[in-house]
Amino acid sequence: MRWILAFVMLGCAFGASPTLDDLDSLDSLGGVAVRPDGKRVAYTLTSGRRGARSTDIQVIAIARGAAQALAKGGSPAWSPDGETLAYFGAGRQVFTVSAAGGNPRKLSDLDAYIDRFQWSPDGKTIALLARPRNAASLTFLVTQQAPTPTVVDHNNLPRNSLWLVDAQTGKTRRLTDDTFSVGGYEQWFADGFSWAPDSKTIAFSKRPHAKAGSHLDGEIATVDVASGEVKVLTNRPGFDGFPVYSPDGRSIVFNSTERRDWVTVSHLYRLHLATGESEKLTTAFDRKLQEFFVDGENAIFLAPDGVATQIYALDLRTKQSRQLTSGPKVRSSLSVAGGTLAYLEQSADEPPQLVTLELKGGSQKTLTDLNRHTAAWPKVETRVLRWPSFDGMEIEGILHLPAGYREGQRYPLVVIPHGGPHAVQTDTFVTGERRVFADRGWAVFRPNFRGSGGYGERFLRANLLGFGLGDYQDVMTGVDMLIEKGIVDSEKMAIVGASYGGYMTSWTISQTDRFKAAVAGAAITNVASFIRSTDVPDRFQDYLGKDPRLWDRHSPLHYASNMVTPTLIWHGDGDIRVPLMQSRELYTALRDNGTPTEFVIYHGEAHGVSRPEHVRDLMERKIAWLDHWVLGK
């Protein structure tokens, strides 16, 4: 059998392994925003130990590389003249501060959850996208005690509205009502709104509501800032969103799914305002588009490319795209202005740094040098692997070898399937549980099975009506490849996953006893009860249809009698994406089998764990479970 192996090798070192506290206290970057003249970049820097971390807004001059802290907060945005920064401060209200320094000023005082904001081109107004505070968490809502019952109906689902705030006085007025939603839920397809260059109208995606699944219906619309008049500009199947005005105001570039379907990549279109006609721009591009910017005659955007993320420029006249970055690195938090691109860049052996790239000339500059102490940690060799699956389809994945790896020695393996299933494992800096397991002598395998993003629409749709079939075989053929290569001890293997990764974990232990231990978090275990109780039933009906007989065949619990692998189960009690009952059913089935199991419920958590004490507790439980059942400790 032929194995294709591309790898990045990190050199040997002899520093002490990082502790959980060390991993929790790494500095992190975000909120990148380029000044309109392209000469400075604002960003956020979060530092301190978990549980006591703070976030500062920094501004750095590209030419000099000197950074200045201006305020505590997030999501900085430059005024059009580049003299002021707006940002989210206390209570998620909008504050402003002079770019030269000084005392911040609270601008908004809205009794609502502000999702995002944007300066008007004339600098006089800031538009806010907000929704009622009791609907602040659209994805994961932990119900609180209330004096009256909650009535759930399509007509009372939360809706986003646009508000306008005077940038000088803070005077606020509502621009749109709650008969529709301005944008909505955007876990899968990016969305936003855009001011016209003359500051007289705002373009947005008009949706029925702001709950998960709202992207299935979305049309490009505009609202007149003076009168509040709304005009719908498109009438197409599927989701049209993330409108961005062209610099001359004569057209709007927007993102479209082209059909009412979760399982698809999206494409850029241009709407000509004079004629109302739309034209497709990304005719030859087959990746899921992320947030994009229109800078002159180019649309600049991020898109996944296998385990990497690249930046592309699309010429709006010729419809030809060119790749601006290269190499196995992951880019995120893109901002574009004044011919300058700024973004975060990282790789398996390089922590995230702030980087700029000139659109003309292509000169690149790294502006930060954070977390360099990690270079003294024991090195973890990371390999990007490709292998043929059972049907010949090429699959890609990432392997982190244990610290101190020696060729020819076999090591215990932990497989970490990703969520989604449309997510993708990328070659990011090795930290978190990957680092913990590698430092403890484990090989860590992260496969991008069929259905993953980053490989085009055909690959994305390759597990339609096939959960647990082809994707499971993709994982197992990858595991067999590692065994055949002499890297993995086949008698010491574990699988650890959450969300769809939890489904893959539960499915795997229902099909094989090759793994000595498993950890299943927020896992789908009974497809029928899951689809009838999740907040995104439409997504999984797109994947598995509407026939309950098919749902049953793809449910791990349909094969519960086969489950003999010792399994640690965890779940948040406020999870509405994969309700808690899914884990209760798995726990009961394992107990009925006499299979060793433990069920941990994290209170006040949703689809995952976020509280520092819970993150720490879960990591320690994973370590102990695998040590005991796989290594015999």
Contact assessment for residue 101 and residue 568, using Cβ atoms and an 8 Å cutoff: no
C-alpha 567/C-alpha 556 separation (Å) is 14
pLDDT at site 288: 81
| 436 shares a domain with 296 | no
Residue 225: closest CA among 170, 173, 287? 173
Express each pLDDT in 67-99 by its tens digit.
Answer: 999 999 999 999 999 999 999 999 999 999 999
pLDDT at site 146: 55
Residue 447: closest CA among 429, 466, 420? 420
pLDDT at site 277: 94
| 548 shares a domain with 425 | yes
What is the tally of structural domains in the chain? 2
Residue 454: closest CA among 429, 419, 422? 422
The answer, as to whether pTM is greater than 0.75, is: yes
Q: Whole-number mean pLDDT of the chain?
A: 90
pLDDT at site 211: 64
Candidate from 64-78, 206-220, 323-337, 393-407 with smallest mean pLDDT: 206-220
Q: What is the torsional sign of CA 261, 262, 264, 268?
A: positive
Is residue 137 very low, low, confident or very high in pLDDT (cuts 50, 70, 90)?
very low
| 496 shares a domain with 347 | no
Is residue 305 very low, low, confident or very high in pLDDT (cuts 50, 70, 90)?
very high
With a cut of 50, say whether residue 468 has pLDDT above it: yes
| 318 shares a domain with 451 | no
Tally: H helices and E strands in the chain: 10, 38
Q: Is 385 among the domain residues?
A: yes
| 526 shares a domain with 396 | yes
Instruction: Record the tokens describing residue 260, joined without a space.
Output: 């009412």
| 544 shares a domain with 399 | yes
| 379 shares a domain with 362 | no
Q: Is 151 among the domain residues?
A: no
With a cut of 90, say whether residue 614 has pLDDT above it: yes
Query: Beta partners for 365?
Result: 356
CA distances from 589 to 177, 468, 586, 593, 597 (A): 49, 19, 5, 6, 10
Instruction: Record the tokens describing residue 596, joined without a space.
Output: 């060793």
pLDDT at site 138: 38
| 435 shares a domain with 305 | no
Q: Is 129 among the domain residues?
A: no
Contact assessment for residue 180 and residue 159, using Cβ atoms and an 8 Å cutoff: yes
Express each pLDDT in 490-549 by its tens digit.
Answer: 999 999 999 999 999 999 999 999 999 999 999 999 999 999 998 888 888 888 989 999
pLDDT at site 380: 95
CA 165 to chain centroid: 30
C-alpha 321/C-alpha 303 separation (Å) is 12
Q: Which domain, by its residues, includes 536?
A: 374-629
Q: Is 229 among the domain residues?
A: no
With a cut of 50, say whether residue 281 has pLDDT above it: yes
| 313 shares a domain with 455 | no
DSSP, collapsed to helix, strand or coil, labels residue 164 as strand
With a cut of 50, say whether residue 292 has pLDDT above it: yes
Domain termination site, one of 369, 384, 416: 369
Q: Is 565 among the domain residues?
A: yes
Instruction: Record the tokens describing residue 17, joined without a space.
Output: 């392994």
pLDDT at site 11: 35
Instruction: Record the tokens describing residue 185, joined without a space.
Output: 């839920």
DSSP for 111-151, please give it: SSEEEEEEE-TTSSEEEEEEE-GGGS-SS---PPP-SSPPP
Is residue 214 very low, low, confident or very high in pLDDT (cuts 50, 70, 90)?
low
Q: Is 136 among the domain residues?
A: no
Is residue 212 very low, low, confident or very high in pLDDT (cuts 50, 70, 90)?
low
| 414 shares a domain with 545 | yes
Q: Is 52 among the domain residues?
A: no
Contact assessment for residue 255 and residue 292, using Cβ atoms and an 8 Å cutoff: yes
Q: Which helix H or strand E contains 437, and what residues bound it?
A: helix 432-439
C-alpha 430/C-alpha 380 separation (Å) is 8
Is residue 150 very low, low, confident or very high in pLDDT (cuts 50, 70, 90)?
low
Contact assessment for residue 530 and residue 544, using Cβ atoms and an 8 Å cutoff: no
Express each pLDDT in 187-208 by its tens digit.
Answer: 555 578 999 999 999 999 998 7
Express each pLDDT in 324-344 by its tens digit.
Answer: 999 999 999 999 999 999 999
| 386 shares a domain with 362 | no
Q: Is 475 among the domain residues?
A: yes
Residue 75: closest CA among 107, 103, 117? 117
What percent of the chain lies above the pLDDT cut of 70?
91
C-alpha 425/C-alpha 599 separation (Å) is 27
Candidate from 43-57, 150-164, 242-256, 607-621 with smallest mean pLDDT: 150-164
pLDDT at site 6: 38
DSSP, collapsed to helix, strand or coil, labels residue 352 as strand
Pairing of strands 350-358, 340-347: antiparallel
pLDDT at site 153: 58
Give the CATH number of the domain where residue 567 resides.
3.40.50.1820
| 332 shares a domain with 450 | no
Domain termination site, one of 343, 369, 395: 369
pLDDT at site 151: 65
> Which residues touch 546 (CB under 8 Å, ≥6 apart)?
none
Domain termination site, one of 327, 349, 369: 369
